[in-house]
């Protein structure tokens, strides 16, 4: 058990609230989108080894069902 003076500091880390969970989902989506952009860059440079990774990564982003991620894919990629 944590000392009383540390509980408030550690509570958000150990017991995330709904907002933190949503932020975590957005960060995961951003990470996948960054990987997708890297795959697209490699394909543009003629590196065909990234085709399968691009498709898999794009599907992973779509499966997250995040409107912000879907919008980014539609608008920028």
pLDDT tens digits for range 27-74: 999 999 999 999 999 999 999 999 999 999 999 999 999 999 999 999
Give phi and psi for 20, each to the nearest 5.
-65, -40
11 pLDDT band (50/70/90 cuts)? confident
pLDDT of 34: 98
Question: In this structure, what DSSP letter does residue 50 have?
Answer: G
pTM beyond cutoff 0.85: no
Q: Would you list the domain boundaries of the chain?
A: 19-76
Report the distance separating Cα 41 and Cα 73, nearest Å: 15
């Amino acid at each position: 058990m944590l000392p009383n003076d540390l509980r408030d500091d550690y509570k958000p880390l150990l017991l995330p609230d709904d907002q933190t969970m949503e932020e975590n989902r957005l960060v995961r989506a951003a990470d996948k989108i960054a990987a997708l952009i890297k795959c697209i860059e490699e394909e543009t440079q003629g590196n065909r080894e990234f085709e399968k990774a691009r498709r898999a990564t794009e599907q992973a982003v779509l499966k997250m069902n995040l409107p912000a991620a879907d919008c980014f894919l539609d608008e920028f990629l």
